[in-house]
Homo-oligomer: A and B are copies of this chain.
Amino acid sequence: MYALIMAGGKGTRLWPISRRGQPKQLLELLFERTLLQQAYERISPLISDDNIFVATVESYAEAVREQIPNVPASNIVIEPEGRGTAPCIGLAALYLRREDPDAVMAVLTSDHIIEDEEGFRRSLLAAAEVAKEGYLVTFGIKPDRPHTGYGYIKRGEVLKKIGGYEVFRVERFTEKPDLAKAWEFLESGDYYWNSGMFVWKASTVLREMERLMPKLHAQLMEIDAYIGTERERDVLEAVWVGVEEGTIDYGVMEGAADVVVIPVDIGWSDVGSWATIYELLPSDEEGNVIVGEHVGLDTTGSLILSQRRLVATIGLEGMIVVDAEGVVLICPKERAQDVKRLVEELKKKGMDAHL
């Protein structure tokens, strides 16, 4: 089995720590090991370094190499610019197919937390078995609340059982629901969160791209023709200019044949907002998560995160304070999702220096 760790994402919801040059997966502040390092380490017992590929963009490439030096430099697939998951996966699949025409690839995220690593690896093995038969395998996370920030997967009939896992046909992918829909999904028991992780043969996903994203597929074939030649990088760069943004979910999964979902319970979190960071990190007696220097009176249930400066608080309850280079962010935990909107506001106002 091969792994593709996608490490080109931007992650604006953890602004202002996460910035243009410092995306979520590469941040060193929050955890002992960065999320990218954790992503590598959790598959390392299962997949040899030679078979681990990492896709990223030029501006992150150096940091990626430094953080996971065991992955061979030639396995780092560098997109000239991020174009979403579909072009990223397609490009990596070209290289994997050359290594092994029947290569099974696990497409993995670099900016999520998985608490049960052992269970995760078991589910990867089960998924690989199913992928070998030509299926596109997704992992479904059983929802425990009506989250409106995720896509959902509706399961259909059971296809088979394998290694203790049930494998369902996928009836439908749905976009992020509103709250009423999310409650419906939660109560029905038939829906899973789309974890954004997949297992399939490189050849299978390229075949489905040919059918569902023919323009992208043609561009990939143009690149493929020059792989291993002197002009490889030039052609990639030239073609990439014309590649359209596209996610694998909308571009391929929604229309693909033979898509299945394996429900997993692996302590997954997408670390999607500061509120999630608060949940993931250990809190003190007052229910505060403190990283950095803080002094407070009557401060409870809050995330206080500072890189260099003192944060002084009085009477805060359930707040997020993130003090980063040149910026301090203050918002209630329940508004953590709106950081994304705030970042858009900054863009609109031309305050790009802070992004």
Contact = CB atoms under 8 A, between A and B. Distances in A.
Contact of A327 (B309, B331, B351): B309
A296 B308 CA distance: 23
Interface string A318-355: 01010100111111100100110110011001010010
A316 B328 CA distance: 14
Contacts of A338: 297, 314-315
A310 interface: yes
Contact of A328 (B319, B323, B351, B354): B323
Given A295-B345, A297-B345, A346-B295, A326 B309 contact: yes
A154 to B, nearest CB: 33
A16 interface: yes
Contacts of A331: 313-316
Contacts of A314: 329-332, 335, 338-339, 342
Number of this chain's copies in the assembly equals 2
Interface string A289-319: 0000001111000000000111111111001
Nearest to A341: B297
Contacts of A328: 309-312, 321, 323, 328
Contact of A329 (B312, B326, B339, B342): B312
B297 A310 contact: no
Contacts of A297: 335, 338, 341-342, 345
Contacts of A298: 335
Which of A312, A323, A332 gathers most chain B CB within 10 Å?
Answer: A312
Interface of A: 16, 295-298, 308-316, 319, 321, 323, 326-332, 335, 338-339, 341-342, 345-346, 349, 351, 354
Give 7 closest A-B pairs by Cβ, nearest first: A314-B331, A315-B335, A310-B327, A312-B329, A314-B335, A313-B330, A315-B332
21 contacts: A296-B342, A297-B342, A309-B326, A310-B326, A310-B327, A310-B328, A310-B351, A310-B354, A311-B327, A311-B328, A311-B330, A312-B342, A313-B330, A314-B331, A314-B335, A314-B338, A314-B339, A315-B331, A315-B335, A321-B330, A323-B328
